[in-house]
Structure formats: C-alpha cells, structure tokens
Amino acid sequence: MKLLFDLLPIVLFFATFRYADGHQDWAGAFATQYFGGLVSGGVVAPKEAPVLLATLVVIVATLTQVVYLKARGRKVDLMLWFSLALVVGLGGLTIWFHNETFIKWKPSGLYWAFGLALWASQALFGKNLLRSTLGQELPLPDALWRRLNFAWIAFFALMGLLNLWVAYSFTTETWVDFKLFGATGLMLLFMLAQGVYISRHLPESVPEDGAAADSHQSTP
C-alpha cells in the first residue's frame, strides 16, 4: 500500500503528460486560460503544455500527500519533505520559464539526496540507516550491513546519472516513460537482487530445545 502511495505522483505525472501530449492544442489552450498567470508571457504553446500540466499535477499530488499524512497525525518522512521542496522549486521554474529541463533534474536530486543521507549517517554519525530500519527483522553481521549500505549509495548515485543521461539523450516522451517504468523497474530488480543476497547470509534457524531433545531421543 505504501508503494502505491509513494508512486502516486509519478503515475499522475505520466497520465497527465500522456493525455495532454495526445491533445496538444487543447492542452495549450487549457493551460493558457487557467494557468497563464503562472508562466512568463502568459501564453503556453501546445508543445509546452504537456510537461507544464503534468508538473502542476505532480506538485499538487505531492503537496496533497503531505497534507494527508499531517491530517491523519502520521509522520511525514524527511525524504517526502525533500521531494516536495524539489518538485515545488524545480517544478515552479519549469512552469515559469517554459523549460522542462528543471523538472527533469528532480529525480536525480532525490536519488542523490537518498544516497547522501545513507552515506552521511554512516560516515559522520556511525549510524547505518538500513540497519536502524530493518535490523530487528534481519539479524545480519555489521560487515554485511555496511556492504548493503554502500550498495544502496552506489545505486542511487548511478540512478541519478542515468536519469540525466536519458533526459538529455532522448525525447521528453522517452524520459517520461523511463521515469515511471524504467526507474521503477530498476528499483524493484535491485531490491530483488538484494533480497536474494541477504537470504544467503541469514543464519539458519536453530530448533527449539524440546524439538532437539525429541530428535535426539528418537535417534537409535
């Protein structure tokens, strides 16, 4: 359920972009009429409208997530706050300057923020955030937790670079597809690989004393 909640802004961004991209004339007129005051010059060209409208939607969706969590008395993760700051800041620049480059930097900024948080907590404070979150469920040695932490840092660093490579090397349509399907797919594959790796290092379960005794007695 949390995964769907986290992915909601991305899904809405994708859906809005795809619909507006298929109806560019309508999207340009709609954006100019209702959101012209938010853009420099007051006029949104049909080709600019899909990214502009999708950016507006993702800003509202992310803000709604924060408001929903606060209204329910639930904790808002630090990274959600950071995501909101990035999407409002870079999204606002995209809208005002009619420039999609700003919003394309947002995923990279978020990936690098995740990686920096994992690195800084370990290097500066001696605290492994992965272990703090999962340590009770996964009894793993310290060395393995450090390797897992480094793997996530490297993954986020590479994902930030990959996002920029796709953004600057391919069309906006391809980048939008990558943002939802490619990046999410790579994240799930990485998590699956980590799960397999962890499973090989989990300690074998030790039978209870009674079961061990019964087994000993039944042995001729």
11-62 pLDDT per residue, tens: 999 999 999 999 999 999 999 999 999 999 999 999 999 999 999 999 999 9
Sign of CA dihedral 158, 189, 11, 182: positive
Distance CA 48, CA 100 (A): 8
What pLDDT does residue 215 have? 46
* Global pTM value: 0.86
- Contact assessment for residue 105 and residue 165, using Cβ atoms and an 8 Å cutoff: no
| Mean pLDDT within 111-122 | 93
Give every CB contact of residue 16 below 8 A, 6+ residues apart in sequence. 50, 53, 54, 57
Q: Could you please report the per-residue DSSP string of 18-69?
A: HHHHHTHHHHHHHHHHHHGGGSTTS---TTTHHHHHHHHHHHHHHHHHHHHH
Model confidence pLDDT, tens digit, residues 124-178: 888 888 888 776 677 788 888 899 999 999 999 999 999 999 999 999 999 999 9
Q: What are the structural domain ranges in the chain?
A: 1-98, 105-203
- Residue 18: name the closest of 170, 176, 168 by CA: 176
Say which DSSP state 82 is in: H
